Amino acid sequence: MKELLSILIDIASAPALLVALIAVLGLILQKKSISTITLGGIKTFVGFLVLTGGAGIVLNALTPLGEMFQHAFAVQGVVPNNEAIVALALTKYGTPTALIMLVGMIANILIARFTRFKYIYLTGHATLYMSCMIAVIMTVCGFTTVPLILLGGLMLGMANALSPAILQPFMKKITGTNEIALGHTGGLGYLISALVGKAVGHNGKSTEDLKIPKGLSFLRDSTVAITITMAMIYVILALFTGQSFIESKLSTGTNYIIYAFQMAGTFAAGVYVILSGVRLILGEIIPAFKGISEKLVPNSKPALDCPIVFPYAPNAVIIGFFSSFVGGIVSMFIMIALHTVIILPGVVPHFFCGATAGVFGNATGGRKGAILGSFVHGILISFMPLALMPVLGNLGFANSSFSDTDYGAVGIFLGSLGSMGGVALITTGILAVLALMFVLSFFKRKSTD
């Protein structure tokens, strides 16, 4: 039994395999031929591996950028990084994390089947990280064994159904279709970015409509534009960081300016690979998912990882990254002035989440929306980890924390209920949210009857 559970968790934690199996199931339900099923499954599998490979390339380029920033400006503090904090937590909370994840995925499917929140969350690693955070907080608040697993899984399933639902009106605007949803732990931040964009730049010019002189027409190519932009950032930061640190600690002897150009090109290459993977996935998962939508969970939509929106506004991706990062720097100085724990700008969350926030802000408010929406997002992912730290128990004293806004929203919700009323109030709160979801679904059906 334990080995079977381990295999199921391994499958669920591997997005490429999970989504490929979903695609195969969808094609089987549509009674497609063996060749079509094989083609769809393999292309979806490879597409996700291409996407995650591109993400890995970007991470490799961003990691030294973060180290350069910390050295150049001599700042120390907590770095929000989901992978780091989860790695620490799993040593103690591994079993409840795995069981909460399994129950949560089942709960997500049941909620999608019986309520109006018809979104199947397919971002496996984000589900694992959220499971881990829920396990930590609910254990700190006094939950054990069966109540921890069942109520923790229910909380996870609800979060994974609600997050795509609140974003879907904006996803329709971004993608031009209602067939795909966003399943990522930055959902609250993307919602706020879209609302900021709507407030400041209604019907503003899109980031993708920038007028470029004929002599600079090569900048219309997103790969070229990203490479040049990132090269300027890396070189300027390298000059502030200094030759000795870079060549002794980061570049293994390569000239520090040459290294800066290499990292800029690596970053652009990673984004190019991500976009290629997204296009490959979209070409397969949407038609394949129709089988699940028609047979198992009527009208359901696949909710996929945040890079799924990158091809729709490549300029907004870069603008969102920079604006979010600036928001993080501003937040850092505010924390220094207030003498609180300092949350350092995490380059990785500011890229993946900030870029996505830029796309959402651009969809509702054009260029102003992309800039201001992602700037506000950058402030959110700086202060929400600060508010989350007290509810993480001993894990709150680690040098890392959860970064994305949905971790903050779920964690602060559970932690606040726990501090006010312990196990009883958390239980009541989770069941109240579930009841509200069913009530909203009932009224939705009544209004459409």
The predicted model gives 222-241 an average pLDDT of: 86
Tens-place pLDDT, residues 336-364:
899 888 888 888 889 899 999 999 999 99
What is the reported pTM?
Answer: 0.84
Give CA–CA dist 269/67, Å, rounded. Answer: 21
Cα torsion angle, 18, 22, 27, 28, sign: positive
Tens-place pLDDT, residues 61-84:
888 888 888 888 777 778 787 877
Domain span at 85: 2-448
* Position 265 pLDDT exceeds 80: yes
User: Judging by beta carbons within 10 Å of its beta carbon (0-12, 13-18, 19+), is residue 98 exposed, middle or buried?
Assistant: buried
Total domains in the chain come to 1
Give CA–CA dist 64/45, Å, rounded. Answer: 30
Position 327 confidence tier, pLDDT thresholds 50, 70, 90: very high
The pLDDT value given to residue 87: 75
* Position 319 pLDDT exceeds 50: yes
